[in-house]
Amino acid sequence: MKASLIQIIHSADRESNVDKLQKHIASAAQEGAELIILSELHNSLYFCQTEDTSNFDLAESIPGFSTTFFGELAKRYEIVLVISLFEKRTTGLYHNTAVVIEKDGSIAGKYRKMHIPDDPAYYEKFYFTPGDLEFTPIKTSVGTLGVLVCWDQWYPEAARLMALAGAEILIYPTAIGWEASDPEDEKNRQLEAWLTIQRAHAIANGIPVIAVNRVGHEADPSGVTNGITFWGNSFAVGPQGEWLRRASTEETSFLIEIDLKRSETVRRIWPFFRDRRIDTYKNITKRYID
């Protein structure tokens, strides 16, 4: 399977963002991409740096603008497309949602972000209700996709449940970066931790992992912080955590080739599923073991 990762700098203007994405999608399709993945909340700036009720105006329904616009692109270029949007189900009920669009422009499925952060510059609990679609892979013409979103990437339980349900690849649309006041050594630790845990998901489950992050600096509208410098570094790894491709901190898109059949070989030599002690894991559902 040929997949393309699109890592861009975002602006406050939706039309400008989708136009830029459209051009990258067209170019990736011409290069032979069958699957194209966009970053988290790609139609706008990362608005969760502040708690502002006017930002709810950015939310949209499914189906709606994004599924229609990107659905037409998926159909035109005969690609499977993973998009990310601020979903409005009804007034007062919103989600951070990834949608998978099939080659014919139809909606193959969606995933609502399950783990919602609430930290300085990442006030997502103000905007998003935790997902209610569980960890259910989405079947497409290019394979069965285990789509998760950003903060989900720190949780091995989410990756495992997607893999146990038949996901052939894990995909993480992402918006993560540094607050400018962090010292350089701390910045490096954060980035390496982010890369390492996702490579570990690939290894532990014997399947490839793709993460697509945004890039560039976005100011804090409130002025309380120095804003976020999104660190890019979008990447793909194989089922042993081996690097397939890793981006820099610049705006870019790139094509990779993923051999989904390799997971069968890897799971034969590292049969982690076989040796799981499911009879001893009941405490995993507890918040803490006192």
What CATH class does 2-285 carry?
A: alpha beta
At residue 174, what are phi and psi to the nearest 5 degrees?
A: -140, 150
pLDDT digits (tens, 9 = 90+) for 135-175: 999 999 999 999 999 999 999 999 999 999 999 999 999 99
Contacts of 107 (CB under 8 A, 6+ apart): 62, 63, 67, 71, 99, 100, 101
- Assigned token pair, 157: 């339980």
Which entry of 40, 102, 124, 168 is annotated as an active-site residue? 40
Q: Is residue 34 very low, low, confident or very high in pLDDT (cuts 50, 70, 90)?
A: very high
For the question of residue 40 being annotated catalytic, the response is yes
Other C-beta atoms lying within 10 Å of the C-beta of residue 204 = 16
Instruction: Give the pLDDT score at 179.
Output: 83
Which entry of 113, 124, 168, 179 is annotated as an active-site residue? 113
Mean pLDDT of all residues in 101-123: 97
Other C-beta atoms lying within 10 Å of the C-beta of residue 53 = 8
Instruction: Give the pLDDT score at 47.
Output: 98
At residue 46, what are phi and psi to the nearest 5 degrees?
A: -75, 95
Against a cut of 0.95, is the pTM above it?
A: yes
Q: Is residue 181 very low, low, confident or very high in pLDDT (cuts 50, 70, 90)?
A: confident
165 three-state secondary structure: coil
Q: Are residues 139 and 5 in contact, defined by beta-carbon separation less than 8 angstroms?
A: no
pLDDT tops 90 at residue 71: yes
For the question of residue 110 being annotated catalytic, the response is no
> Residue ranges per domain, the chain?
2-285
Q: Listing from the earlier edge strand, what are the strands of the sheet with 138-140?
A: 138-140, 143-147, 169-174, 209-213, 235-237, 243-246
Instruction: Give the pLDDT score at 182.
Output: 84
Element (DSSP H or E) covering residue 259: none
pLDDT digits (tens, 9 = 90+) for 222-243: 999 899 999 999 999 999 999 9
For the question of residue 150 being annotated catalytic, the response is yes
- Assigned token pair, 251: 């705006």
Which entry of 88, 102, 150, 179 is annotated as an active-site residue? 150
